[in-house]
Amino acid sequence: MVNKIDVPSRWTNETGEAVAKQNELAADVYSTGQSIEEMRAGYRTERAYWNEGGPVMAATVDGVIPTDHGDIAVRMYRPTTDAVLPVIFFTHGGGWCLGDLDTHDRMTRILAEESGAAVIAIDYGLSPETKYPTNLQQCVAVVQAVRAAAGEWGIDGDDVSFAGDSGGAHIALASYLYLREVEKAADNVRALLLFYGWFGLRDSPSQRRLGGPWDGITQDELAFYIGQALADERQIEDRFLDLFRNDLTRDMPATYIVAAELDPLLDDSRLLADILESSGIPVKLDIYEGIIHAFLHHSRLVPEAGAALAAASEFYRAQASQS
């Protein structure tokens, strides 16, 4: 890897500790030289440690929602006993190939506690078994089904938001855009909370200069994940994959974007924030210095993880007074 920044020399002490723990738990967890099954097993093993502890919910409800694209498991986190809560739909990261409801459990619990909303995590189908756009359509179908049965779920179907990390941030934004453009059902969306997502850039300064075994998203590895997700390489031009092909200058909800200074996907966040800000869309971009991709998992060691989720929740709550 040529022309790369020496990331380990720049990350915070706590980030170094988190990477060391990650390597202890599952060395080479992000190596694309192994099978998808091996990658998933290592990912689950490593994430189990990071999900210990954290907030206790008033209620956690697992369910299954039938859709035209299969039965989709969901998990609802309710931070209070209120009968009706606003809802944040959460889609997990993992390059569309890795992750599940358990691998992101602590992150979603913290988001529920800090925001005061019911957080519904969606266990969409993983690639390569589930190809794009089926995973996106699954998530949209879940959102529509829950909104249609809002009373049964104890949520306010007219106060909906979307959140996600990494590849899940991509699905969160894509879900909103699909609802807006295809379903014509994007009303009453309070906010988007997008944590260090990939939104469509296939080359950028941050991709050229950053990325390594600690995050598993060098340019070659990013191409690997995209390749696993696509049924046809021509889909890379699809507007619900390359999200910058959509008109982001209109009809966008307030958007909070978390980015990390040492993340190859940093420029995706910068570009999205720039488009929204220049178009008069309420947006806030927070870039955490000395921090790497996927740091929200490391809330047991990295204080910036808790700070980012708290800031996202503060932004989210502030939007209630704007609606």
- Has residue 159 got a pLDDT over 60? yes
Q: Is the peptide bond before 133 cis (omega within 30 degrees of 0)?
A: yes
Mean pLDDT along residues 229-248: 96
pLDDT band at 257 (very low <50, low <70, confident <90, very high): very high
Residue 12 and residue 32: Cα distance in Å, rounded?
Answer: 26
Strands 85-91 and 155-165: parallel
Residue 75: what residue type? R
The pLDDT assigned to 302 comes to 98
Residue 321 pLDDT? 63
Contact 303, 14 (CB under 8 A): yes
- Whether residue 119 contacts residue 91, with contact meaning beta carbons closer than 8 Å, is answered with no
> In the chain, pLDDT over 90 holds for what percent of residues?
96
Query: What's the pLDDT at 241?
Result: 97
**Model pLDDT, residue 293:** 98
Summarised one tens digit per residue, pLDDT across range 27-64 is 888 888 899 999 999 999 999 999 999 999 999 999 99
* pLDDT over 70, % of the chain: 99
pLDDT confidence bin for 193, thresholds 50/70/90: very high
The structural domains of the chain, ordered by start, are 7-320 (3.40.50.1820)
Tell me the three-class secondary structure of the chain, residue by residue.
CCCCCCHHHCCCHHHHHHHHHHHHHCCCCCCCCCCHHHHHHHHHHHHHHHCCCCCCCCEEEEEEEEECCEEEEEEEEECCCCCCEEEEEEECCCCCCCCCCCCCHHHHHHHHHHHCCEEEEEECCCCCCCCECHHHHHHHHHHHHHHHCHHHHCEEEEEEEEEEECHHHHHHHHHHHHHHHHHCCCCCEEEEEEECCCCCCCCCHHHHHCCCCCCCCCHHHHHHHHHHHECCHHHHHCCCCCHHHCCCCCCCCEEEEEEECCCCCHHHHHHHHHHHHHCCCCEEEEEECCCCCCHHHHCCCCHHHHHHHHHHHHHHHHHHCCC
Average pLDDT, the chain: 97
- pLDDT at site 323: 55
Cα(314)–Cα(71) distance, integer angstroms: 34
Arithmetic mean of pLDDT, 277-299: 98
Cβ neighbours of residue 280 closer than 8 Å, sequence gap 6 or more: none
Mean pLDDT of 130-138: 97
pLDDT for 67 beyond 80: yes
Instruction: Map tokens 């570009």 to a residue.
Output: 271
Mean pLDDT of 154-180: 98
- The per-residue pLDDT for range 93-118, each reduced to its tens digit, is 999 999 999 999 999 999 999 999 99
Flag whether the pTM goes above 0.85: yes
The confidence band for 282, taking pLDDT boundaries of 50, 70 and 90, is very high
Q: Which residues are catalytic?
A: 166, 263, 293
Instruction: Quote the distance between the C-alpha of residue 25 and its chain's center.
Output: 23
Average pLDDT over residues 4-17: 98
Q: Give the C-alpha separation, 58 to 61, whole Å.
A: 10
Q: Give the mean pLDDT of 68-78.
A: 97
**Residue 28 pLDDT:** 85
